[in-house]
Structure 1
């Protein structure tokens, strides 16, 4: 079944600077193949007709025909009667993780291992379960105990919060998708950082938003306060000119750049949004993963009107699918009403486990700080030794580092790394238009052994990149 059709204009934008020497049809086929493997062209997407694409690219139809033929021979394109040329991916549906028995080391996910005492907290949660078994078990807003615990956590962080301002969700991604449906009408504009968390812009697009990107300047690229002012002015201008219905930001330890907004930046962005009636949604899933950030920063909503999204996926464990939304009561009521068509509530047992864990958050964060500091220092040392030509920023928190490779080869490097057992997320995965081929996101959250193995694989892939053609292989793991 064909799920979507890609126009020639859109595909041309995704291709970017695809002509890098060699025959034109081979270069075109290689770029479409990389876009498919990287998930930027979904499987089962109908590509433009050969003549239409040739006109947009200024090529002969013969060249495009040859490129499509090569893609068919490689298994990345299939002719479907009545549907034209449809993208395929060898061996698996799009965006499925590589099976563990293939022996890959998966660094496409920036995540932490489970807490050492998660099993014990789970046992305590199970002990609390009997008193909830008398009801139907469908909980669209969250148990009173968990909502109170989340509110207490915000209050402890300097943002007084009532339980009535909290809605519990099935992770942060569910929260972002639900807010997108509540705040955006089809055709509305949505402000978003560039680069950004890919599943966020996917949720916005699914809600019908037209994206308005603003560049997020990594801390490592800021020479002085003037650079922060430039970034803030860009946000203000975009809000004023585009009048977006919603803005999605990651103000703390931004994924993927690691950048954090200063208090004065938060105030100015929220003030600009308030003037235009734009609702700012701040993703705080990594906000408390501080290693050694200078100065204290309050939650975004302490500086003005903002809706906050949080979860325990980055601090406790990604397998514990509990997140939340902090908003004013009218929006919470609207969200509860919109939720039923998609799901009937967050699992009770998982809520009970999180309720047991939230009072231990200071202890949890201290453990994570030690783990992330060790991971950051180790990967910085390895990369400096093996890749002195790469620009590796020194991050002060979060889960990853955003590396400038110096050449637009991120997708090729990610593909070549698969031959050496490593899955990584190429830079363009975090752009809404295929940009960031010069960048690579690497997590700092893995063990020293795993990180060393990953850097060894990267060294082999980097060394082979210019010596050999990139082979046709691989799957794309989900990016989180």
Structure 2
């Protein structure tokens, strides 16, 4: 049987924090490969990358990869033959039914055992607000309640609907489905609306957890570039006209990862085009409340027409409060509730009651979170300017992340060096279905100031190790053609 090729970027992601332990690098690399093989993640027959390609992606010498491969060959886990490459041996764990597992570094870092690596990869509040603990202390559960509410507790559905009404979007509780976080809400929408081979319009770059869901569903991605003012609406309209995707997924406010903000007129045009073409438009609203500038928040896309909104409390309150929602037409919400019932019979009831209390006094909680985010944003940018002045780091208007550009090199390879210095970052290419953003990193600013300073110090030490090799490997920029003498005078 022909060997199964394994994409290099996926393999590197699955290796995770392989180099963060103690001992020679080749033994650490061999140990992680051994784990992936024994767990069945690397199946018998899987073709591994050539020595030099893997060494380049991991930012190590070729001898490190050769020694790791040879160690596993001697154990019988790998087969290496001249001309046919390196494959997982057939004596390894037999393959079972295959399902697509995440290769997203964002999620894989969360599965690692705790260590001293600073996680700049997962953008979520480190500590819950004091109001959350107080709400749990005072929460009461009514008698005579089975506790199964697939569509959500009525009190919470009404509280979410009221938030939409306060922003000028008429909404009834029957238009709200409570979910176990926004990720579940998006997952349910994908299960309902996307069949294998269907198209999905995505921004490039975008939230990597959404890309995982679309790829698991075997969707065909139609990426549209994101610029300083959000998604290219003209490009998105052209994609919808040409491909009629099963749905379009956008993050219009404080876009993850770029932090861009879609102007209202562009948002209106996007909604009107999607509605006119019959393409369901999914608006990821998770970051909507995190605007640094005071005043009225940007209008919801739902105020312009029929839009499916997905939100949660994870970014304002705490990621451990697994409460999200989907807001849309009542018939769609009813169908989603029946689908959700298959999977979990309903989200956690005490958490829903706590969430309803939190929404009842949401303004001061949001204000406190935004103050902390703005301070973290300014501190991180100042530290990057001080220790890594060659990195491009424009300010954000809100949200939780900076979209950093390296002057040269590759984000995936640099992330490997950064891991060896004790900090995990998210390479831009993992979020870009166009295959771009290779020199980009996503850095969040939710950690305490001293931890952010330590993280940037580690990144600076990693960059000083990596940069000379990256600069030498970069192809030289082409020399511009000579200008005619008449034009030369004008340009100069």
TMscore range, shorter length: 0.7 to 0.9
Partner of 1:81: 90
Partner of 2:421: 420
Distance, in Å, in 1 between the alignment partners of 2:433 and 2:401 is: 19
2:112 aligned with 1:98, yes or no?
A: yes
Contact 1:248 1:280 in 2 (8 A): yes
Distance, in Å, in 2 between the alignment partners of 1:416 and 1:44 is: 24
Distance, in Å, in 2 between the alignment partners of 1:196 and 1:431 is: 6
Distance, in Å, in 1 between the alignment partners of 2:337 and 2:72 is: 44
Q: CA deviation at 1:341?
A: 2.8
Paired residue secondary structure (1:180): helix
Distance, in Å, in 2 between the alignment partners of 1:106 and 1:13 is: 20
Q: In the alignment, which of 155, 179, 194 is matched to residue 184 of structure 1?
A: 194
2:287 aligned with 1:273, yes or no?
A: no
Q: Which digits, 9 at most, give the CA deviation of each residue in 1:168-223, with x for residues without a partner?
A: 0000000000001111122110100111111111112222311111111134xxxx
2:97 aligned with 1:122, yes or no?
A: no
Partner of 1:159: 169
Contact 2:410 2:438 in 1 (8 A): yes
Partner of 1:61: none
Q: TM-score, normalised by structure 2?
A: 0.76
Partner of 2:123: 110
Paired residue secondary structure (2:232): helix
Contact 1:14 1:434 in 2 (8 A): no
Q: Which digits, 9 at most, give the CA deviation of each residue in 1:95-135, with x for residues without a partner?
A: 553322x222212111123112211111122xx21x1x422
2:58 aligned with 1:44, yes or no?
A: no
Contact 1:49 1:84 in 2 (8 A): no
Q: CA deviation at 1:420?
A: 2.1
Distance, in Å, in 1 between the alignment partners of 2:363 and 2:40 is: 43
Q: In the alignment, which of 54, 62, 69 is matched to residue 72 of structure 1?
A: 69
Distance, in Å, in 2 between the alignment partners of 1:13 and 1:422 is: 19
- How many residues align structurally? 416
Contact 1:427 1:440 in 2 (8 A): yes
The structure number with the bigger radius of gyration is 2
Contact 1:321 1:350 in 2 (8 A): yes
Alignment of 1:321-332 (within 5 A): 321-332=322-333
Contact 2:175 2:328 in 1 (8 A): yes
Q: TM-score, normalised by structure 1?
A: 0.78
Partner of 2:464: 463
Distance, in Å, in 2 between the alignment partners of 1:391 and 1:179 is: 36
Distance, in Å, in 2 between the alignment partners of 1:295 and 1:138 is: 37
Partner of 1:202: 212
Contact 1:407 1:437 in 2 (8 A): no
Paired residue secondary structure (1:373): helix
Does the C-alpha gap of structure 1 residues 436 and 6 become closer, same or farther in structure 2, counting only changes over 3 Å?
farther
Bigger CA drift: 322-331 or 105-114? 105-114
Q: CA deviation at 1:272?
A: 1.5
Alignment of 1:318-467 (within 5 A): 318-432=319-433, 434-466=435-467
Q: CA deviation at 1:275?
A: 2.2
Partner of 2:98: none
Bigger CA drift: 440-449 or 345-354? 440-449
Distance, in Å, in 1 between the alignment partners of 2:166 and 2:372 is: 23
Paired residue secondary structure (2:343): coil
- More contact order relative to length (CA 8 Å, sep ≥ 6): 1
Q: CA deviation at 1:14?
A: 7.5
Paired residue secondary structure (1:342): helix
Contact 1:159 1:298 in 2 (8 A): no
Paired residue secondary structure (1:211): strand
Q: CA deviation at 1:6?
A: 9.2
Does the C-alpha gap of structure 1 residues 50 and 15 become closer, same or farther in structure 2, counting only changes over 3 Å?
closer
2:248 aligned with 1:247, yes or no?
A: yes
Distance, in Å, in 2 between the alignment partners of 1:254 and 1:273 is: 19
Distance, in Å, in 1 between the alignment partners of 2:423 and 2:378 is: 21
Distance, in Å, in 1 between the alignment partners of 2:312 and 2:47 is: 46
Q: CA deviation at 1:233?
A: 0.7
Does the C-alpha gap of structure 1 residues 75 and 239 become closer, same or farther in structure 2, counting only changes over 3 Å?
farther
Partner of 1:313: 314
Paired residue secondary structure (1:340): helix
Does the C-alpha gap of structure 1 residues 47 and 284 become closer, same or farther in structure 2, counting only changes over 3 Å?
farther
Unpaired runs of 5+ residues, structure 2, are 13-25, 34-38, 54-62, 79-87, 96-100, 471-492
Does the C-alpha gap of structure 1 residues 423 and 204 become closer, same or farther in structure 2, counting only changes over 3 Å?
same
Does the C-alpha gap of structure 1 residues 190 and 70 become closer, same or farther in structure 2, counting only changes over 3 Å?
farther
**RMSD of aligned Cα (Å):** 3.5
Distance, in Å, in 1 between the alignment partners of 2:180 and 2:374 is: 29
Unpaired runs of 5+ residues, structure 1, are 17-29, 58-65, 220-227, 470-480
Contact 2:204 2:434 in 1 (8 A): no
Q: Which digits, 9 at most, give the CA deviation of each residue in 1:368-408, with x for residues without a partner?
A: 12111101111111111111111101101000010011223
2:157 aligned with 1:147, yes or no?
A: yes
Partner of 2:483: none
Distance, in Å, in 2 between the alignment partners of 1:317 and 1:147 is: 19
